[in-house]
Amino acid sequence: MSQVASPEKTHPLPFPGGEPTKAPPLQKETTVGNYFVSNYPPFSFWKPELAGEIVAALERPPEPLNPLGVYVHIPFCRKRCHFCYFKVYTDKDSSAIRGYLEALLQEFRLYAGKPFVGGRKANFIYFGGGTPSYLSVDQLRHLTDGMKALLPWDEAEEVTFEGEPGPRTNHKLKAIREMGVTRLSLGAENFDDHILEINGRAHHSKEIARAYAYAREIGFPQVNIDLIAGMVEETEANWRECVRKTIEMSPDSVTI
């Protein structure tokens, strides 16, 4: 991601030779930059000759009292943000999405049949993306009902769901709460419409307040506000305002 700096701003720390160096100019667009590891082990370690080790690990019984966490990736979005490096799709129809959900449940079924997972109850569940709230209510119910049949949620300490504060959110938030989600993470990212637009976000600031208020109204035990630092054309004044507004909302947690 690009640095936010004025072309004339100099680095405050002393450098050899006694002259400070000028910071890079403000970037107007995001470009491919650092290499991110989006999963562990990284894909470069996924080799056919190592498949036996994965199978062997799943065949071992878990350590007593070892908590079980489950991450579910939903790789679909209304649009791709300019800074996004995750595996997401914006061009899939309902048939393709349904196929992905069936594959997810098939994989889940495979794990549930192994000693390391089978018979256990999940302590923590996290739905990330992509945009999990992109799924329709019927698609979400199909997925969560299938998961619960294989790995009960009734003793989960926390079930987290990432949601976009976009239009037509309310009926979906209500359904998500009814499915047993206890922690809603709203992807606000910034509160300035220009910055949201220039970075490719699909929502506007007024939708953040509306989604947050409704999440409180229907009783999510925890509501998280997600912010992104270093967005294109962000300034120190803007960032301070984003922090101020977040504190004013008084969420249960904040991720940056």
For residue 185, is it within any domain? Answer: yes
34 phi and psi, to 5 degrees?
-65, 155
In a domain, 223, yes or no: yes
User: Could you tell me if residue 42 is inside a domain?
Assistant: no
> pLDDT digit string (tens) for 20-75?
455 555 555 545 444 555 666 777 778 899 889 988 999 999 988 899 999 999 99
Give the pLDDT score at 235: 96
In a domain, 33, yes or no: no
Mean pLDDT computed over 74-93 = 89
**Would residue 235 count as lying in a domain?**
yes
Q: What share of the chain is helix, strand, coil (3-state, %, to 5)?
A: 35, 15, 50
* Helices and strands of the chain, counted as H and E runs: 7, 6
Q: Phi first, then psi: give them for residue 143, nearest 5 degrees.
A: -65, -50
CA–CA distance from 15 to each of 4, 8, 18, 20, 22 (Å)?
Answer: 21, 17, 6, 6, 11
46 Cβ partners below 8 Å, 6+ apart? none
d(CA 88, CA 210): 26
Residue 143 lies in a domain: yes
Q: How many domains does the chain have?
A: 1
Q: H helices within 113-161, ranges in order? A: 137-150
Residue 139 maps to a domain: yes
CA distance 239 to 226: 13
Sheet holding 183-189, edge to edge: 69-74, 124-129, 158-163, 183-189, 222-227, 253-255
> Could you tell me the CATH number of the domain that includes residue 162?
3.20.20.70
Give me the pLDDT at residue 240, please. Answer: 97
The average confidence (pLDDT) of the chain is: 86
What are 174-177's contacts with CB under 8 Å, separation 24+? Answer: 174/218, 175/137, 175/140, 175/141, 176/133, 176/140, 177/218, 177/219, 177/220
Cα within 13 Å of Cα(89), Cβ side: 11
For 112-145, the pLDDT digits (tens) are 999 999 989 999 999 999 999 999 999 999 999 9
| Angle subtended by helix axes 137-150 and 94-112, to nearest 10 | 10
* pLDDT at position 2 over 70: no
Distance CA 203, CA 226 (A): 14
Domain contains 8:
no
The number of angstroms, rounded, from the C-alpha of 122 to the middle of its chain's C-alpha atoms is 19
Structure tokens at 249: 């909302």
* Verdict on whether the full-model pTM lies above 0.85: no
The answer to whether the bond into 99 is cis (omega within 30° of 0) is no
Tokens of 53: 């080790």
- For 55, 144, 231, the CA distances from 113, given in Å and listed in that order, are 12, 18, 44
What is the extent of the structural domain holding 108?
48-255
- Beta pairing partners, 254: 225
